[in-house]
Each structure stands twice: as structure tokens, then as C-alpha cells.
């Protein structure tokens, strides 16, 4: 007998600053994404670099690429007001390029209010 599996197959690479409420309206953004069925791949905090941070991001991109290859929707949810848009944007781009993978669709919360976010992730 198969067990029910209710995953929405939607994944958001998301800035730590959003999940941890370091930007205005973060709670509403998180709620909108959860309501839309997104699971989160949290990037390390944008200003908290350790020697192992690069390797941690590589693993996150490995996961994201695997999801996309299995036809999950993968997006990046960033904040352009933050360094590296809060998501280590250059590292993500380099890791995707190294794998020959195209970029993910990106939503910039600095340019999106809650209502339009809900429309765009519906």
C-alpha cells in the first residue's frame, strides 16, 4: 500500500535574513512561501563567513540541481538590499556555471510586496 505523500515539489533557495526576520515584512514573505508549498534550502547568513561556508553552499547547490533534474520547481528568494543579495549570489552563479546548469528563477523581496509575492508564487 502506498502512503500519501503531499510534497508540492517546490523548493526555494532562500536568504537566511528572510527566514530569521532581519528584513521588513519577512514573516509575511515566509508565510506566503509556506502557503504556496515551498520548502526551504537556507543559505548561510550573508555576513557570516567561515572557512567551510563555500563547501556548505556547494552541497546546497548539489541538492537544488538534483531537485531540478527530478522536475521540482526551484527558485531563489533574495534581497537585493543585502550584500550578495543575501544568498551568496556569486557563489550560486559560479556553482551552477561549474556544473553547466542555467540560473534559477529569482524573486527579489526588496522589489516585491507581500501581495505580489503571493501572486508570483501561486
| Interacting residues with other proteins (CB under 8 A) | 1-11, 16-17, 19-24, 27, 30, 33-34, 36-42, 44-48, 50-52, 55-56, 59-60, 62-63, 66-67, 70, 72, 79, 81-83
Q: What is the DSSP string of 42-96?
A: EPPPTT---TTHHHHHHHHHHHHHHHHHTT-EEEEEE-TTSGGGGTTHHHHHHHH
> Which is closer to other proteins, CB of 8 or CB of 97?
8
> Which is closer to other proteins, CB of 69 or CB of 115?
69
Work out how close the CB of 118 gets to other proteins at its nearest, in angstroms, rounded to a whole number. 14
Work out how close the CB of 53 gets to other proteins at its nearest, in angstroms, rounded to a whole number. 8
> Which is closer to other proteins, CB of 16 or CB of 95?
16
Alpha carbon distance 31, 89 (integer Å):
23
Spacing of C-alpha 37 from chain mean position: 13
Amino acid at each position: 500500500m502506498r502512503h500519501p505523500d503531499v510534497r508540492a515539489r517546490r523548493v526555494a533557495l532562500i536568504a537566511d535574513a528572510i527566514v530569521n526576520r532581519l528584513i521588513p515584512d519577512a514573516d509575511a514573505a515566509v508565510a506566503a512561501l509556506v502557503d504556496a508549498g515551498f520548502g526551504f534550502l537556507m543559505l548561510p547568513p550573508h555576513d557570516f563567513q567561515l572557512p567551510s561556508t563555500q563547501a556548505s553552499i556547494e552541497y546546497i547547490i548539489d541538492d537544488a540541481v538534483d531537485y531540478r533534474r527530478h522536475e521540482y520547481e526551484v527558485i531563489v528568494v533574495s534581497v537585493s538590499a543585502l550584500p550578495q543579495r543575501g544568498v551568496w549570489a556569486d557563489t550560486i552563479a559560479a556553482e551552477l556555471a561549474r556544473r553547466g546548469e542555467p540560473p534559477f528563477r529569482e524573486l527579489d523581496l526588496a522589489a516585491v510586496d507581500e501581495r505580489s509575492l503571493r501572486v508570483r508564487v501561486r
